[in-house]
Amino acid sequence: MTRDDDEPRSYASPPCFMREVDPAYFGLAPPPPPTQGVVAWRKAQRERLITNRLSLSASFRADAAARIAQALDRLIGDPGGHVISAYWPFRGEPDLRPWLVSLQARGARTALPVVVASRTPLIFRSWQQGDRLTRGVWNIPIPADGEVVIPDIVIAPLVGFDPGFYRLGYGGGFFDRTLVQLPTSTVAIGVGYDQAAMASIMPQPHDIPMRHIMTETGIRSR
């Protein structure tokens, strides 16, 4: 997931979770037509939205990430004493790592999500700049040794979102399994770009709506 100087120097060999993700995401097969059902329709939308996101310029993504970070600061207020989980950016997602580092300087505990096993909830491990990293699912860097924590605020990257605050992810269902088990006080914030807006993600019973959606143009709250 990382493509810069933060590259971990040593890696673990994680189990393969490719079966958790739609085959179309990896380019293994074309998405079936929408008439074959919601799952097929969502595969096609996911493919389209990721392709569009990757076409955004690096300068646009950098500016959008800065705007999103500023909006998150306004929404959260003083982060001191809070446990805040975000993510390591993947396939053009807004890069909030500098914001996470700034939270640490302001007294927050920061964390990153970790996939433990297929079809199970995520765990969150504490992370600060300089902590040792290893490779997780899809080669995404994860904390190698961090303490398992329960976040007060979860920043969830999104592929798509709709007016009902439902989030379209990568198809593995990890965040939905996780959010339903977190305390009701946990605030879930979906983060992405305006290009991810959809009329509906066709939510299913397992989908969990976000409390807020954050894009480069501002905050949407329910």
pLDDT in 10s for each residue of the chain, 222 residues: 434 444 444 444 444 444 444 444 444 334 444 445 898 999 999 999 999 999 999 999 999 999 999 999 999 999 999 999 999 999 999 999 999 999 999 999 999 999 988 788 999 999 999 999 998 887 889 999 889 999 999 999 999 999 999 999 988 888 899 999 999 999 999 999 999 999 999 998 889 999 999 999 999 999
Helix (H) or strand (E) holding 59: helix 58-76
Give the pLDDT of residue 4: 43
Task: Provide the 3-class DSSP secondary structure of residue 86.
Answer: coil
Does the model's pTM come out above 0.85? no
Residue with tokens 């190698």, as numbered in its chain? 144
Q: What CA–CA distance (Å, rounded) separates 21 from 19?
A: 5
Q: What CA–CA distance (Å, rounded) separates 213 from 220?
A: 5
The strand pair at 212-215 and 218-221 is best described as: antiparallel
Beta-carbon-side half-sphere exposure of residue 80 (alpha carbons within 13 Å) = 3
Backbone angles phi, psi at 163, to 5 degrees: -65, -15
Give the pLDDT of residue 2: 38
Tokens of 124: 């969150």
Give the pLDDT of residue 119: 82
Give the pLDDT of residue 36: 55
Q: CATH classification of 31-221, choosing from 3.40.50.10420, 3.30.2310.20, 3.40.50.970, 1.10.645.10?
A: 3.40.50.10420
Give the pLDDT of residue 10: 41
